[in-house]
Structure 1
């Protein structure tokens, strides 16, 4: 029996439902035929296409994040994850960019999964709010991504 009061539970938001639909589409795309290299190239293009569809502010930040992540950790493969640009190691997402516009948030997010090796004692950050990607932010992203895969 659920503890949720069904008279007040509204279910998933429209943004959450859209993200789940995106994820289902991402999974279907991942099963496409071709060589591993062709699949990787297609997944990388899907990420670039999704970034290009973003509003200007998110697009500019996502382009910079993409450039920094792919340069700092070439072992990470770009792929879509719940419709968001993400970067995976052996098919498992290590980090991702969540646009502010998609989730009607006041800031974009650079997030890290539990696979990221960012552990610092008993508590550490796994998500970072982004309002702008400056040279200092790029350096911090590069450092975090390198640590995440080592």
Structure 2
């Protein structure tokens, strides 16, 4: 199923292990976590993830809880100065609106972002989305760079 959506040849031998996350509830999809055998294949899948736009399926990098909190802080606490924030291979990056270059957020700057107050104007559905991502985030402080999470819309669960 993913091969046809990503326009990529993905075989069983490319995947070390995969399983659903969270508790089963009827009529509710759970994300799937996938560990690839080779990091190169994971990078290829992540690059092609933008082909899934509008399909309701999305691929996100499996982050530690702290990294997920920092990404949420970057995106939502300073919406006026942060153009975008993302992760790549477990590293966090930000692009500020006043700058044209990307900047890596180093671990020693995490606390400065986490301690900033939340803006009261943030959209509730955006905050809810990040709370769900934080709940699903790995609770260890170790990031395995070969893991990704796949989240499917309700119709896709029937295909799996």
Query: Does TM-score exceed 0.5, indicating one fold?
Result: no
Question: Counting helix residues as a fraction of each chain, which structure ranks higher?
Answer: 1
TM value normalised by structure 1: 0.34
Higher relative contact order (CA 8 A, sep 6+): 2
